[in-house]
Amino acid sequence: MGTGQPTKIFLPAPSRKGSISLEEAISRRRSVRDFSPQPISQSQLSQILWAAQGITDTSRRYRAVPSAGATYPLEILVACGRNGIEEIGAGIYHYNVADHSLSLHHQGDVRLDLAKAALDEAMIYQAPVDIIICALYQRTTRHYGSRGERYVHMEAGHAGQNIYLEATALGLATVAIGAFHDEPVREILRLDKQYKPLYIMPVGRLTTD
Ligand SMILES: Cc1cc2nc3c(=O)[nH]c(=O)nc-3n(C[C@H](O)[C@H](O)[C@H](O)COP(=O)(O)O)c2cc1C
């Protein structure tokens, strides 16, 4: 690609201790729709991705959020803006759960296009980074039939809540966005047909910081 940007980025190891209690994070959590354009750090992104899908039981490969039958139907993408994450170029990245790394999926800042596909929700391009929770339903429905679809949606809710709480614990903010057009979002993110985007979650610092 000639940009010096590595195609695989190993994220810093997540911390298992935070500076605020779970109760404080729950009581402070709010949906925020105004973000500072300041970048977030790789450590902050690492922590948020770990909370969303990271491995917390290395022997059984179980993750931070519960999953029906441990079928793990979710995949997490990160749309990083220009100067969105310290020392990471603008692009769409895939979170690799197994080794807690990011793979470059496509270069370029897609936040404005994403916002247009999401009823012009300005926070999607104002925030330095957007986390997109996608589902591969088949991983779960092949075990549970059509009931598996509801399990996938429940799991996305668990992951979304963990992102909210982790962002709050880090002094960052987010909002869960469900209002967007699936097909344009899928095309902007260059996802295969079987991937369904469920949530777009802009993450960043508050404008008041
Ligand atoms: C399934 C779901 C979809 C949502 N979609 C949007 C959205 O498209 N745009 C938005 O600004 N907020 C969205 N929200 C956030 C809600 O508006 C927000 O949670 C609610 O106003 C309560 O505020 P709080 O999160 O600060 O407690 C969504 C929340 C959920 C659970």
pLDDT in tens, 39-72: 999 999 999 999 999 999 999 999 999 999 999 9
**Strands (DSSP E) found in 65-114:** 74-80, 91-96, 101-107
| pLDDT at residue 2, rounded to an integer | 42
| pLDDT at residue 1, rounded to an integer | 40
Which DSSP helix (H) or strand (E) runs through 2?
none
Residues framing ligand 1 (Cβ under 6 A) = 30-31, 33, 121, 175-179
Which DSSP helix (H) or strand (E) runs through 204?
strand 196-204
| Residue type, position 111, single letter | R
Residue 77: CB atoms within 10 Å = 23
For ligand 1, pick from 27, 121, 132, 175 the residue to mutate: most ligand atoms within 8 Å of CB: 175
Q: What is the mean pLDDT of the chain?
A: 96
Q: Token digits for 36?
A: 């500072």
pTM value? 0.96
Q: Is 198 helix (H, G, I), strand (E, B) or coil?
A: strand
| pLDDT at residue 209, rounded to an integer | 76
Q: How far is the CA of 157 from the CAs of 11, 59, 90, 123, 166, in angstroms?
A: 24, 25, 27, 20, 14
| pLDDT at residue 4, rounded to an integer | 57
